[in-house]
Amino acid sequence: MTAAAEENRPLVVAVIGAGPSGIYAAEALTVQSPGAVEVAVIDRLPVPFGLVRYGVAPDHHSIRSIRSTLERTLERPGVAFYGDVTIGRDLVIEELRGVVDAVVYAYGAGADRRLDIPGEDLPGSLGAPEFVAWYCGHPDAHPVAGPAPGADAVEEVDLGRTMIRLVNETTSAVVVGVGNVALDVARVLVKTADELADTDMADQVLESLTAKRITDVHILGRRGPAYTAFTTKELRELGQLPDLDLVVSAADLELDAASLVAVAADKVAARNVAVMREWAARPLTGASRRIHLHFWVRPVEIVGAERVSGIRLERTAISPDGYVVGTGETALLDAELVVRSVGYRGVALPGVPYDAGTGRVPHAEGRVIRDGEFSPDEYVTGWIKRGPTGVIGTNKSDAVETVASLLADVASGRLVPAGRSGELDSLLAGRGLSALDLAAWHRIDAAEVQLGLSHGRSRTTLASRDELLTAAQPPSGSERTDPRPELVHPHPELVEGPSTGSGSGV
Ligand code: NAP
pLDDT in tens, 138-174: 999 988 766 544 444 334 345 666 777 788 889 999 9
The pLDDT value recorded for residue 169 is 87
Residue closest to 217 by CA, chosen among 237, 246, 243, 239: 246
Residue 176 near ligand 1, beta carbon < 6 Å: yes
For residue 339, report the distance from its CA to the centre of ligand 1, in Å: 13
pLDDT score recorded for residue 480: 62
Of 56-65, 349-358, 467-476, 483-492, the poorest mean pLDDT is in: 483-492
Beta-bridge partner residues of 11 = 37
Q: 229 CB less than 6 Å from ligand 1?
A: yes
> Which residues, other chains included, contact 19 with Cβ-Cβ below 8 Å and sequence gap of 6+?
43, 48, 49, 50, 51, 52, 106, 108, 382, 503, 504, 505, 506
Residue 375, pLDDT > 90, answer yes
Q: Are 426 and 49 in contact (CB under 8 A)?
A: no
> For the chain, how are helix, strand and coil distributed in percent, rounded to 5?
35, 20, 45
127 alpha carbon – ligand 1 mean position (Å) = 12
Residue 68: pLDDT band by 50, 70, 90 thresholds? very high
CA–CA gap between residue 136 and residue 206 (Å, rounded): 10
Q: Between helices 159-168 and 128-135, what is the axis angle to 10°?
A: 100
- Judged against a pLDDT cut of 80, whether residue 196 lies above it is answered with yes
The widest CA-to-CA distance across the chain, in whole angstroms, is: 75
Which residue type does 236 have?
R
* CA distance linking residue 438 with residue 71, whole number of Å: 9
Residue 483 has pLDDT above 80, yes or no: no
Of all protein residues, whose CA lies closest to atom 9 belonging to ligand 1? Answer: 178
Q: How confident is the model at residue 104 (pLDDT cuts 50, 70, 90)?
A: very high
Tell whether ligand 1 has an atom less than 6 A from the beta carbon of residue 44.
no
Protein residue closest via CA to atom 38 of ligand 1: 180
| Mean pLDDT of the region 29-57 | 95
Q: Which residue has the higher pLDDT, 503 or 76?
A: 76
Binding site membership of 231 for ligand 1 (Cβ less than 6 Å)? yes
Q: Is 447 in the pocket of ligand 1 (CB under 6 A)?
A: no
Report how far ligand 1's centroid is from the alpha carbon of 335 (Å): 21
State in Å, rounded, how far the first CA of the chain is from the last one.
35
Q: Where are the alpha helices (DSSP H) in 302-393?
A: 383-386
Q: Among residues 214, 345, 237, which one has the least CA distance to residue 290? A: 214
Range among 101-105, 149-153, 256-260 rated most confident: 101-105
Rounded distance between C-alpha atoms, residue 303 and residue 70, angstroms: 44
* Orientation angle between helical segments 66-74 and 20-32, nearest 10 degrees: 50
Half-sphere CA count of 327, side-chain side, radius 13 A? 13
Average per-residue pLDDT for the chain: 90
Q: Is the CB of 341 under 6 A from ligand 1?
A: yes
Give strand pairing partners of 360.
Answer: 355
- 400-413: b (≥16 Cβ within 10 Å) or e: bebbebbbebbeee
Q: Does residue 8 or residue 396 have the better pLDDT?
A: 396
Instruction: Read off the pLDDT of each residue in 465-478 and give the average, rounded to a whole number.
Output: 88
Percent of the chain predicted with pLDDT > 90: 81
Q: Which of 65, 116, 135, 222 to mutate to test the pocket of ligand 1 (most atoms within 8 A of CB)?
A: 222
Distance (Å, whole) CA 178 – CA 219: 7
Ligand 1 lined by 272 (C-beta under 6 Å): no
Q: For the residues 381-392, what does the mean pLDDT come to?
A: 96
Tell me which of 389 and 145 has the higher pLDDT: 389
Pocket test for ligand 1, best of 61, 185, 342, 345 (most atoms within 8 A of CB): 342
Which regions of 93-204 does DSSP assign to beta strands (E)? 102-105, 111-112, 125-127, 172-176
- The closest-lying atom of ligand 1 relative to the alpha carbon of residue 389 is 32
Ligand 1 pocket check for 383: Cβ under 6 Å: no
Atom of ligand 1 nearest to the CA of 390: 32
Q: Which atom of ligand 1 is nearest the CA belonging to 394? A: 32
- Long-range contacts from 488-492, C-beta under 8 angstroms, 24+ separation: 489/89, 489/90, 489/92, 490/431, 491/92, 491/95
- Please indicate whether residue 343, judged by its CB atom, sits closer than 6 Å to ligand 1: yes
Q: Are strands 344-345 and 216-220 parallel, antiparallel or unpaired?
A: unpaired
